[in-house]
Amino acid sequence: MITRTEMMDVATRYVAYINDPIKCANDLPLILSKESVAKIPFVAVSLAISYDDFKMFAEKTYQENKDMCFTATMTLCDEQQCCVAILFQATGTVIS
């Protein structure tokens, strides 16, 4: 079983990665399994986002919005469920 310290380390690496996925590219396999699929339900559609989709999205978002910054304002860690939830504050200029 993964410890709270190990889960928080992964969460810290995740925050660093989404703030600079180019610089932290080597950390992604330590954060997210290549077999991972995140299911995001919407009202009419359910999206499935793979490791490669997440990587591409993070890199593209960073390249288009380099001054965007995500700051963790609250982190919850549940050792029983092996789950970390992070509440972010996003700042910066978004170019559309």
Q: How confident is the model at residue 76 (pLDDT cuts 50, 70, 90)?
A: very high
Domain boundaries, the chain: 4-91
The three-class DSSP label of residue 74 is strand
pTM: 0.80
Q: What is the largest CA-CA distance in the chain?
A: 42
Q: Looking at residue 1, what is its pLDDT?
A: 79
Q: Mean pLDDT of all residues in the chain?
A: 88
Category of 48 on φ-ψ map: left (φ > 0), alpha (ψ -120 to 50) or beta: beta
Convert the pLDDT of each residue in 23-65 to its tens digit: 999 999 988 888 888 777 666 666 778 899 889 989 998 898 8
